[in-house]
Structure 1
Amino acid sequence: MKAVIMAGGKGTRLRPLTSNLPKPMVPIANKPILIHIIELLKKYDFDDIIITVGYLGKKISEMIGDGSNLGVKITYSWEDRPLGTAGSVKQVEKKLDETFLVISSDILTDIDLAHMLEFHKKRGSVATLALTRAEIPVAYGIVFTDENGSINRFKEKPGWSEVFSDKINTGIYILEPEVLRFIEEKQEFDFSKQLFPLLLERGDPIFGYIGDFYWLDIGNPKKYIEANHDVLIKKVRVNVAGEEIKEDIWVGEGTDVNLEANLWAPVIIGQNCKVEKGAVIDRLTVIGDGVYIAKKAHVKRSIVWNNATIREGVKLENCVISSRVELGADSIVQTEAVIGDDCEIGNESVISQERKIWPNKIIESGSRVTTDVQLGTFVRRSFFGPNGITGMINFEITPEFATKLGATFGTLLKPGARVVIGRDNKNISRMIKRALIAGLMSAGVEVYNVEIMPLPLIKYAIRVFNATAGVSVKNPYVNRDSISIRFFDQDGVDVNRNIETEIEDIFFKDKIKRVEPSRVGEVLNPVRTFEVYLNDVMKYIDYSIIRKQQPKVILDCANGSSSIIAPSLFQKLGCEVISLNAQLAEGRGKKNSLTKDALLDLSKTVRVLGADIGIALDEDASRALFVDSKGDIVEGDTALALFIKFRLNERKGGAVCVPVSASQVIDQISEENSGVIIRSKIGYRPLIEKILENKCIFGGEETGGFVFPEFQFARDGILASAYILEQIVKQETSLKELLSEIPRFYMVKKVIEVPYQYRGKVMLQLVEEAFGHNISTLDGIKIYFDYGWCLIRPGPDENTFEIYAEARSKEEALQLIKHWANIIEDIVHSIETGI
């Protein structure tokens, strides 16, 4: 007899199990669902089978073939677009010239098809639906029948007040060919929603068959695990692969189970597996083919697919591990968690219950995964990075995540704390900020919402309002699909690693403490921030001399939050201001004003309009770069050297902090002006920490970040721009003339790819390569030569290294870069090939 198996669905609810695999090919007890269905059909002489396929259909046809190895004949019908359950069967109407069966490919059942067929014929039915009884029928379409099985009504997804039947449609039908003429060709058409109600309306005889059989819709990971367990406890009658070596313990050919391993029935272990001494394969576990299970591993109630590796001390409970997953030593995967194909889970990691990890992810050792991991490649043990918490909006960082994060921070601060929070001008930032506010309020925190605000002003507001802490939310221009959340202490400094660890501990271990309703925090919208900041800048800067000169300034605000304050500040200082990219509207995308192209545009404008200076602020006004009156772009290192010279002259010496990558010329300037240079690791936080530790009078980076500790412990591009204007006017010269006093130097930078897992080996071999040279290992390895230096360090991106070089000429600097880049490439090649 003929049967049609509907296998065109995407299996969305089963992802990540179905990310690379069609849903019908997902294994139940080490055998694809589709094979179980084909074996059932064959048992009842349905041996001429048509499979309708769509999503990943080629994989189905390649894996199943023509059915000859299963003792049946199989042909395929391809859907180039979704046609619905009935529409897919309509495509093969010409092949269905007798009574035929239709069955869904995402169910597990042991229905007696012979008895159902007999029922169908005896009733003279044109359509017989296999029905089963459900304890909670509201999740399904219910069917009303009389005592003879005749169907008299359908109800899709009823409410509890409409549940007058517990019979539900199983997706198994016996049909007469004549019903196909009512299905529209090449149109999406559904059996239960359209065809069967139509037949009922026509008065055609349709019946519901209820027998004593097992049926389960494998619609989600929980049901998938349940299906495997039901096979093991023999709740459903299916064929189990492998030899039953003991009661309810099945083991496949070529599998090596150590005599001192513990197998507790019922379990299924596939072919060519290795189970080490002391490993425990606990009840209700299915192990696929080619799986390695190390000593002290404990696998309980779990489903493990082919070629997975389970290292020493791993604990799995009631979870699903897909193909080729590697679980590091002592990692834990909790109940109903699902790990997709080809993932690497680091040692001592914890995958929390019900979490899903999509294929090809690498989870760093010691991580605790409490949210689904769908995008990106790496998941670190800490969700804090160099710029706070950054992730894909509505995937990695959702409103729900932000609310929990806000409550976490509030728990850490305790009820009654005061937090300043601000954002950039993007709607996604507003959404996440409001979610954070809700979380903070729930923990009893008083929130000062300063709305759209440049980052230096958010930090400044913490002091202005005597707040306990601060939070900023921004959509970085480098990735328009991401969001960045940063937390600050009472001084406006990014919270330290200890605080980050406490936040993670509260968040991951659900230690959040929310207050009773009467103590929920309030939200205030203060308005004095701009006014106080402007006044304080004008006190710090001698604006009277600027007003006398009235310099012409071209100001690029990058369409960022500085647009709302920077132009007015420079006007108050007495400047003639021409603003570029000073639009805050959502549709006006922020731009990176510090790129070479943007600076060239600024340079052109300065020359055309005869301005005294061009100022480029980044999107949140933390950094600033400059163009002189001739239109020449001032290199970041040159500007840093100039600022240091100004500050040391003003203070008659003192300690100044710069990163390890800053030019050696700075040392020369410091020595000439009674200064002491403190070097920090690259990055904003290491710089601030060193400034605080050494009580520095100034700190800066060659990327345009300048810190005036007397004013605030934060990079402030607006203040830095006002300061350089003051110095130009005070010294009665031009920026061009001031720059001519800075010694000439040449710096270059290069980023090269290095696989993340090779980082350690590359660093060790670089130290060997640098043997005999004077080196520093403050941040990476810095190698000194007579004519310059080269700094090599792992980059902020997982698979990169950064190389910096400085020399007496550009050619020498480029040669240094090329030489050490070649050495790194040779090291990587040697690691990969063993040569």
Structure 2
Amino acid sequence: MKIIVPMAGRGSRLRPHTLTIPKPLIPIAGKPIVQRLVEDIVKVCGEPVDEIAFIIGDFGKETEENLKAIAESLGAKGSIYTQDQPLGTAHAIMCAGPSITGNVVVAFADTLFRADFTLDSNSDGVIWTKRVDDPSAFGVVKKNADGFITDFIEKPETFVSDEAIIGIYYFKDGDFLKSELQYLLDNDIKDKGEYQLTNALENMKNKGSQFTSGTVNEWMDCGNKDVTVETNGKILGFVKDDEQLQSSKATIENSEIIEPCYIADGAVIKNSTVGPLVSVGANTVIEDSTIDNTIIQEDSHVINAKLTNSMIGNKAHFDGKFSSVSIGDYSRLD
């Protein structure tokens, strides 16, 4: 099994936090978004994953090494490909062409999910879906009475289905997928100005592939500050019984920690109330503060704060009584 992870977007809606690192490496409950994504996919695959291919922009060598390390931690080879231009989902996937062979899962690194099904690798394909209130912003599927997908529609302007494609797909025949993606590129077939994966799926279906859907219980976005903080809180709740969230190498003095919280190695918390739903990065110092529902990354200093629904980046300094903030890396407010 191979996992293909397109993640070349700059994450502009999450700025300033994505000015220094790509969005999929933003930590959620102490782990990068993309790490949690591939870990959850490995859990439902039901068979070993031998390669994880990441499609990135110009993110630098450090990011590439971090991604390879994530793959290796799951017993897989990490491969790096580059997408130079944002030309659509089909184009993004094809940037990893050499790795698209055999059993393949394609997962866009925009969201996290929770699911309790095991992937049926005998199926031609499985499309992860979730029912949504407003399907016009998503690709959606229609299904027949037997549960097989009959139509793939990209961002429908009129209602056809509320079963949205969340951006995770399984293909039994990666080579067939690759040939249909290449057909779109070779013939300049676009939808809404871009090369769309849904067009390739429609062609595969018309040539005999039978796709089913895998419905997820939770679909969590990390597109902007508010939903990323919300996702952090949900993940803390999901993993609090399975992961060690509070490091024994953190220093807690005259403070109350209201679980669930993630507190990393070297964190120092003094004279404060922290939690619930707070993630504190390595070597961050919090003093004389009350903080809930917030992400604070590494090597930052927060004092005299009363924060909720906030994000503070790496190596930031915050001194004040603001109630909701989003401060990027190396910023200072005092």
- Separation (CA, whole Å) in 1 of partners of 2:41 and 2:153: 29
Q: Are the structure 2 counterparts of residues 221 and 93 from structure 1 closer, same or farther at C-alpha, using a change threshold of 3 Å?
A: same
User: How do 1:176-195 residues align onto structure 2 when only pairs under 5 Å count?
Assistant: 176=173, 177-184=175-182, 185=185, 189-192=195-198, 194-195=199-200
| 1:73 counterpart (77, 84, 88) | 77
- Separation (CA, whole Å) in 1 of partners of 2:151 and 2:240: 32
> 1:27: which partner in 2?
27
Asked whether 1:314 is paired with 2:310, we answer no
Cα contact 2:49–2:75 (8 A) shared by 1: no
Question: Going by fraction, where is strand more abundant, 1 or 2?
Answer: 2
> 1:144: which partner in 2?
142
> 1:166: which partner in 2?
162
> 2:285: which partner in 1?
292
Q: Are the structure 2 counterparts of residues 340 and 333 from structure 1 closer, same or farther at C-alpha, using a change threshold of 3 Å?
A: farther
Please list the CA deviations of residues 440-470 of structure 1 after superposition, one character each: whole Å capped at 9, or x if unmatched: xxxxxxxxxxxxxxxxxxxxxxxxxxxxxxx
* SS in structure 1 at match of 2:120: helix
> 2:296: which partner in 1?
304
Shift in Å at residue 203 of structure 1?
4.5
- Separation (CA, whole Å) in 2 of partners of 1:204 and 1:217: 33
User: How do 1:502-651 residues align onto structure 2 when only pairs under 5 Å count?
Assistant: none
> 2:155: which partner in 1?
157
> 2:202: which partner in 1?
197
Shift in Å at residue 210 of structure 1?
3.0
Shift in Å at residue 168 of structure 1?
0.3
> 2:114: which partner in 1?
110
Q: Are the structure 2 counterparts of residues 212 and 174 from structure 1 closer, same or farther at C-alpha, using a change threshold of 3 Å?
A: closer
- Give the counterpart letter for 1:52 in structure 2: I
Cα contact 1:142–1:168 (8 A) shared by 2: yes
- Give the counterpart letter for 2:49 in structure 1: F
- Separation (CA, whole Å) in 1 of partners of 2:202 and 2:38: 29
Cα contact 1:42–1:72 (8 A) shared by 2: no
Q: Are the structure 2 counterparts of residues 65 and 179 from structure 1 closer, same or farther at C-alpha, using a change threshold of 3 Å?
A: closer
Asked whether 1:99 is paired with 2:87, we answer no
- Give the counterpart letter for 1:189 in structure 2: Y
Asked whether 1:333 is paired with 2:323, we answer yes
Q: Are the structure 2 counterparts of residues 90 and 48 from structure 1 closer, same or farther at C-alpha, using a change threshold of 3 Å?
A: same
Using the aligned pairs only, state the percent identity. 24
Cα contact 1:322–1:340 (8 A) shared by 2: yes
- Separation (CA, whole Å) in 1 of partners of 2:93 and 2:160: 31
Shift in Å at residue 227 of structure 1?
0.9
User: How do 1:371-520 residues align onto structure 2 when only pairs under 5 Å count?
Assistant: none
Cα contact 1:57–1:78 (8 A) shared by 2: no
Please list the CA deviations of residues 458-492 of structure 1 after superposition, one character each: whole Å capped at 9, or x if unmatched: xxxxxxxxxxxxxxxxxxxxxxxxxxxxxxxxxxx
> 1:661: which partner in 2?
none
- Separation (CA, whole Å) in 2 of partners of 1:95 and 1:136: 34
User: Structure with the greater relative contact order (CA < 8 A, sep ≥ 6): 1 or 2?
Assistant: 2
> 2:14: which partner in 1?
14
- Give the counterpart letter for 1:11 in structure 2: G
Please list the CA deviations of residues 550-604 of structure 1 after superposition, one character each: whole Å capped at 9, or x if unmatched: xxxxxxxxxxxxxxxxxxxxxxxxxxxxxxxxxxxxxxxxxxxxxxxxxxxxxxx
* SS in structure 2 at match of 1:144: strand
TM-score between both structures, scaled by the size of structure 2: 0.87
- Separation (CA, whole Å) in 2 of partners of 1:238 and 1:168: 30
* SS in structure 1 at match of 2:78: strand
> RMSD of the TM alignment (CA)?
2.4
Cα contact 1:325–1:343 (8 A) shared by 2: yes
Gaps in structure 1 of 5+ consecutive residues:
243-249, 347-835
Q: Are the structure 2 counterparts of residues 85 and 112 from structure 1 closer, same or farther at C-alpha, using a change threshold of 3 Å?
A: farther
Asked whether 1:261 is paired with 2:264, we answer no
Please list the CA deviations of residues 66-90 of structure 1 after superposition, one character each: whole Å capped at 9, or x if unmatched: 5334432111112233343222332
Q: Are the structure 2 counterparts of residues 298 and 83 from structure 1 closer, same or farther at C-alpha, using a change threshold of 3 Å?
A: same
> 2:333: which partner in 1?
345
TM-score between both structures, scaled by the size of structure 1: 0.36
| 1:213 counterpart (214, 217, 229) | 217
Cα contact 1:8–1:57 (8 A) shared by 2: no
- Separation (CA, whole Å) in 2 of partners of 1:215 and 1:153: 22
- Separation (CA, whole Å) in 2 of partners of 1:229 and 1:78: 32
Please list the CA deviations of residues 464-521 of structure 1 after superposition, one character each: whole Å capped at 9, or x if unmatched: xxxxxxxxxxxxxxxxxxxxxxxxxxxxxxxxxxxxxxxxxxxxxxxxxxxxxxxxxx
Aligned residue pair count: 320
Q: Are the structure 2 counterparts of residues 251 and 89 from structure 1 closer, same or farther at C-alpha, using a change threshold of 3 Å?
A: same
Shift in Å at residue 112 of structure 1?
5.1
Question: Going by fraction, where is helix more abundant, 1 or 2?
Answer: 1
Shift in Å at residue 117 of structure 1?
2.9
- Separation (CA, whole Å) in 1 of partners of 2:145 and 2:85: 40
Shift in Å at residue 344 of structure 1?
0.8
- Separation (CA, whole Å) in 2 of partners of 1:238 and 1:12: 34
- Separation (CA, whole Å) in 1 of partners of 2:87 and 2:248: 42
- Separation (CA, whole Å) in 1 of partners of 2:106 and 2:2: 9
Shift in Å at residue 98 of structure 1?
1.1
- Give the counterpart letter for 1:73 in structure 2: K
Query: Which piece of structure 1 moves more, 211-220 or 172-181?
Result: 211-220
Please list the CA deviations of residues 657-679 of structure 1 after superposition, one character each: whole Å capped at 9, or x if unmatched: xxxxxxxxxxxxxxxxxxxxxxx
Q: Are the structure 2 counterparts of residues 239 and 49 from structure 1 closer, same or farther at C-alpha, using a change threshold of 3 Å?
A: farther
Max Rg structure: 1
Shift in Å at residue 195 of structure 1?
1.5
Q: Are the structure 2 counterparts of residues 210 and 62 from structure 1 closer, same or farther at C-alpha, using a change threshold of 3 Å?
A: closer
- Give the counterpart letter for 2:180 in structure 1: F
- Separation (CA, whole Å) in 2 of partners of 1:222 and 1:206: 38
Shift in Å at residue 238 of structure 1?
9.8
Q: Are the structure 2 counterparts of residues 129 and 41 from structure 1 closer, same or farther at C-alpha, using a change threshold of 3 Å?
A: closer
Cα contact 1:116–1:209 (8 A) shared by 2: no
Cα contact 1:85–1:191 (8 A) shared by 2: yes
* SS in structure 2 at match of 1:158: coil
- Give the counterpart letter for 2:323 in structure 1: V
Asked whether 1:133 is paired with 2:131, we answer yes
- Give the counterpart letter for 2:291 in structure 1: V
Cα contact 1:141–1:155 (8 A) shared by 2: yes
Cα contact 1:145–1:152 (8 A) shared by 2: yes
Q: Are the structure 2 counterparts of residues 138 and 239 from structure 1 closer, same or farther at C-alpha, using a change threshold of 3 Å?
A: farther
Q: Are the structure 2 counterparts of residues 239 and 39 from structure 1 closer, same or farther at C-alpha, using a change threshold of 3 Å?
A: farther
